A and B are shown apart, each in its own frame.
Chain A
């Protein structure tokens, strides 16, 4: 059962998703700790797949561990590290363990990571990966070999509403929707006007596609500057940078700014939730969620 699917498809509830911290040692205790911190606030949490081209504990095993501690995973699969065979076995492995939510991404290039000498795979791209997941869900491998019974997937993808070519991003969302994506988690976006144009455009061409924009919690101007300079595809307007820099308490101001972005995003057509990336790792997550009007869920663990 996917709570995410249930909420997005059969209710009007707003959903909240987040990123599970990458696991590098620390064992199940670290998973338990992080699950306990995130579970009260989020409907589903992304199990990432070597984010920013850094090796970590695998997507599938992280997703399984999260599930053990009562957190619903959205298992990401990126196209950078695996060919089409390995990607299909990732999907089937997820299904074996009752993982329903998949999110298919292109992935950052190997040069973004700490092992730039690695071979980049990109045997298939994200739109093809979504289509292949849909085909598995209809009871066939890509080759046509039958799968009985077919795995049950709820498919998602990622799109960058704020990167060029701006007007094509709407068409690209439509392409992913046609391939089988039911929800889109959007890249971090600091341009409310671009986000608005994108959401309006998507709501017109694919009204059933559920949009989940992302906001990010950073510590201050330095964090904003880092994303602007170091993360391709993310642009932070100078006015935002200046506002945070000049504030008497940048750490408070940046949260105020993020709240404004979050509230604006939630008013846009097609938007059904919010994805929160937390780079602060302090207690500001709780107050941020409170300010957004969320009340923490009571925790249930099914081990």
Chain B
């Protein structure tokens, strides 16, 4: 029951503020509280090379590039230091099976930390 209800609650709370897309593996903390799934290319390791001179998005010229915004906020917001350090971490590919599920549940069960069997990261900052 709770499992069915939580996605609604999470979306109701996160959508108005962060335009949450319910990817089910929330990384807001490491991206200056800016949702990378609102990037038209859904990059988890942005920004792309198409950012305009004024910091706006290649695809939607009237929108600020969300990765520029994320970077500015990572620097300026009073966020915990470890969150800030996570900004340049290599985030793994999105697990499409988690689409529409609650990232809160996935955080508690650690389901959101499951990566493909071959995935590995070398030389991270931590």
**Contact pick for A232, options B43, B58, B90, CB 8 Å:** B58
Q: How far is the CB of A79 from chain B (nearest CB, A)?
A: 8
A233-B119 in contact given A127-B45, A127-B90, A174-B88 (Cβ < 8 Å): no
Q: Beta-carbon contacts of B82-95 to A below 8 Å, as 1s and 0s? A: 00000010111110
Q: A142-B118, A164-B65, A178-B122 are in contact. Are A106 and B40 (CB under 8 A)?
A: no
Nearest CB of B to A228, in Å: 9
Contact of B117 among A123, A143, A165 (CB under 8 A): A143
A149 at interface, CB cutoff 8 A: no
Give the distance in Å from the alpha carbon of A266 to the alpha carbon of B40 in the complex. 35
Given the known interface contacts A84-B93, A171-B88, A233-B58, the answer about A120 and B40 at a Cβ–Cβ threshold of 8 Å is yes
A158 close to B (CB within 8 Å): yes
| A125 x B45 contact (CB < 8 A) | yes
Contact flag A165-B72 (CB < 8 Å), given A108-B58, A125-B44, A142-B119: yes
Chain B residues with Cβ below 8 Å from A233 are 48-52, 58
Instruction: Using A108-B58, A127-B90, A145-B118 as known contacts, say yes or no to A164 and B49 having CB atoms under 8 A apart.
Output: no
List of B residues within 8 angstroms of A109 by Cβ: 40-41, 50, 58-59
User: Are B119 and A135 in contact, CB atoms less than 8 angstroms apart?
Assistant: yes
Question: Which of B40, B49, B50, B90 is in CB contact (< 8 Å) with A179?
Answer: B90
Residues of B within 8 A of A27 (CB): none
> In the docked arrangement, what's the CA distance between A134 and B123, Å?
13
Q: How far is the CB of B114 from chain A (nearest CB, A)?
A: 12
Question: If A106-B48, A111-B59, A232-B50 touch, does A131 touch B65 (CB 8 Å cutoff)?
Answer: no
Contact for A124 among B50, B65, B93, B120, CB less than 8 A: B93
List of A residues within 8 angstroms of B59 by Cβ: 109, 111
From residue A211, how far is it (CB to closest CB) to chain B in Å? 15
Closest A residue to B57 by CB, please name it: A232
Q: Which of A103-127 contact B (CB under 8 A)?
A: 106, 108-109, 111-112, 120, 122-127
What is the distance, in angstroms, from A253's C-beta to the closest C-beta of chain B?
23
A165 touches B71 (CB 8 A): yes
CB of A259 closer than 8 Å to a CB of B: no
Which residue of chain B lies nearest to A127 when distances are taken between CB atoms in the complex?
B45
Contacts of A187 in B (CB 8 A): 49
A82 at the interface (CB under 8 A from B): no
User: For chain B residues 25-45, which have a beta carbon within 8 Å of chain A?
Assistant: 40-45
Contacts of B43 in A (CB 8 A): 106, 122, 125
Q: Which of B81-126 contact A (CB under 8 A)?
A: 88, 90-94, 96, 116-124
Shortest B26–chain A CB gap in Å is 17
Q: How far is the CA of A137 from the CA of B124 in the complex (A)?
A: 19
Q: Does A67 contact B (CB under 8 A)?
A: no
Does the CB pair A106–B90 fall under 8 Å? no
Whether B46 is near chain A, meaning CB under 8 Å from some CB there, is: yes
CB pair B116–A126 under 8 Å, yes or no, is no
A101 to B58, CA, bound (A): 28
Q: A126-B45, A127-B90, A175-B88 are in contact. List 7 more A-B contacts (CB 8 A).
A: A124-B93, A142-B117, A143-B117, A144-B117, A164-B52, A165-B47, A178-B124
Residues of A with Cβ closer than 8 Å to B? 79-80, 84, 106, 108-109, 111-112, 120, 122-128, 131, 134-135, 140-145, 158-160, 163-165, 168, 171-172, 174-175, 178-180, 187, 232-233, 235
Complex A-B, nearest 6 residue pairs according to Cβ-Cβ distance, in ascending order: A144-B117, A160-B49, A127-B45, A232-B58, A144-B118, A232-B50
